[in-house]
Amino acid sequence: MANVAVVGAQWGDEGKGKIVDWLSERADVIVRFQGGHNAGHTLVIDGEVYKLSLLPSGILRPGKLSVIGNGVVLDPWALVAEIGRLCERGVEVSAENLAIAENVPLILPLHQDLDRIREQAAGRAAIGTTGRGIGPAYEDKVGRRSVRLGDLSDDATLESRLDRLLAHHDALRRGLGAAPIDRADLAERLREIAPQVLPYARPVWEDLDARRRAGERILFEGAQGALLDVDFGTYPFVTSSNTLAGMASTGTGMGPGAIQFVLGIVKAYTTRVGAGPFPTELDDEIGRHLAQVGHEKGTVTGRDRRCGWFDAALVRQTCTTSGVRGIALTKLDVLDGLDELKICTGYEIDGRRVDHLPMAAEQQTRVVPIYETIAGWSESTAGARSWADLPGEAVKYVRRIEELIRCPVALLSTSPEREDTILVTDPFAD
């Protein structure tokens, strides 16, 4: 039986929430392995809309174990608030159905301060982060000065972690003209929150291994998208974690062999929130049409998403770097009614054709997309549940995407409703 990793194959917001929910019903364990509460996964269950930022989507389904792996950065206050919001709506969250890696690094208020101060100071060069402190928290992780969840259980350890962390941050803040950290207040807040989060702390790598040996199905739930990956994304306009499927292994403590199927979530056009290169961006009526019909507003920050044509060169690249075996194509219905559609197949730069986005940031802003034009369709594809329900042109569009990205469609999603899904390959059964 296969374990499945689900990752975004563009700049995030590909519609992972619905697909993860659809798969989580058939999984036993659902694991987040990177990112933090910068994610925004929207799920519609029995007509109720839930927006999750930090908790794995499995939390909404009774009888599943949800796990937050060590690859995540965890804001304990955001966690407690999200749990509180769910409990108010009758969703049960306890140590029975939620486990958090004891070695997960914490996001503290000082990380959010730094995120904000830096973005403000950067002016036009700002990355457009979600302001959640994600980048600064990951910096402290690799800088070996994080406070980790398990550190909250021992006062002496916590104090020595704070020594190291504040020596760094106070120096940084002096340089930025910010007030030093109020250490006593921070320590007090951490002691207060500790009893609310420590009950979930566990060596989750061991739990996951036991579950795998027992033949349970594990779903690894990626956040953001491959083009925001800190190594392979449009650096420096990226998030600070590895968003590729490889992170599912080191971000949980399961060996790479534990993941048999990588499902890439791909939107039928392209969107991006925040700053950075976007070769197929449409600053015209069609771009505004996609934004309006596709409700392209950020779940976490409420910002408008930038919209553009499907970029097959980029998705071919991300399917390769994430080892995607099949894609889930989402929001095809947003293209209904357009006379013709364009697909980017590569780029031109300085008179040369290239079939992938160059690594150099300066070149990324200068590439000119090479488009192929395809006929659109006037009929509605919304709610289609079989290929026969789709207009011929829509099928041609999907088939052309498969050819260009060199990866087959495993699932096709035709509306936010979970039943409106065409299943070609069952990732768990493969």
* Residue 217 binding ligand IMP, by CB under 6 A: no
What are the helix and strand counts (H, E) for the chain?
A: 12, 18
Beta strands 340-349 and 368-375, pairing class: antiparallel
* Residue 10 binding ligand IMP, by CB under 6 A: no
CB-wise, 59 or 223, nearer to ligand IMP? 223
Smallest distance, ligand IMP to C-beta of residue 240, A: 6
Residue 106 carries which side chain, given as an amino acid letter? L
Spatial distance between the Cα atoms of 216 and 261, rounded to a whole number of angstroms: 15
CB-wise, 15 or 346, nearer to ligand IMP? 15
Spatial distance between the Cα atoms of 47 and 57, rounded to a whole number of angstroms: 16
Length of the chain in terms of residues written: 430
Binding mask 17-56 for ligand IMP (x = CB under 6 A): ---------------------xxx----------------
Residues within window 342-401 making contact with ligand IMP, judged by CB under 6 A: none
* Residue 223 binding ligand IMP, by CB under 6 A: yes
**Residue 227 CB contacts under 8 Å (≥ 6 apart), including other chains:** 10, 11, 233, 234, 238, 272, 314, 318
Smallest distance, ligand IMP to C-beta of residue 206, A: 29
Spatial distance between the Cα atoms of 118 and 121, rounded to a whole number of angstroms: 5
CB 312 within 8 A of CB 343: yes
274, 279, 308, 427: residue in contact with ligand IMP (rule CB under 6 A) = 274
Spatial distance between the Cα atoms of 201 and 102, rounded to a whole number of angstroms: 5
For 146, phi then psi, to 5°, come to -70, 155
Smallest distance, ligand IMP to C-beta of residue 141, A: 14
Spatial distance between the Cα atoms of 95 and 425, rounded to a whole number of angstroms: 34
228, 265, 319, 343: residue in contact with ligand IMP (rule CB under 6 A) = 228
248: burial class by Cβ within 10 Å (0-12, 13-18, 19+)? Answer: buried
Catalytic annotation, residues: 13, 41
* Residue 82 binding ligand IMP, by CB under 6 A: no
Smallest distance, ligand IMP to C-beta of residue 8, A: 8
The string of DSSP codes covering 334-357 is: GGTT-SEEEEEEEEEETTEEESS-
* Residue 233 binding ligand IMP, by CB under 6 A: no
CB-wise, 118 or 183, nearer to ligand IMP? 118
Smallest distance, ligand IMP to C-beta of residue 279, A: 16
The residue of the chain with the least Cβ separation from ligand IMP equals 274
Smallest distance, ligand IMP to C-beta of residue 90, A: 26
112, 239, 270, 381: residue in contact with ligand IMP (rule CB under 6 A) = 239
208, 245, 273, 286: residue in contact with ligand IMP (rule CB under 6 A) = 273
Spatial distance between the Cα atoms of 74 and 148, rounded to a whole number of angstroms: 9
Residues within window 110-149 making contact with ligand IMP, judged by CB under 6 A: 127-130, 132, 134-135
Residues that bind ligand IMP (CB under 6 A): 12-13, 38-40, 127-130, 132, 134-135, 223-224, 228, 237, 239-240, 273-274
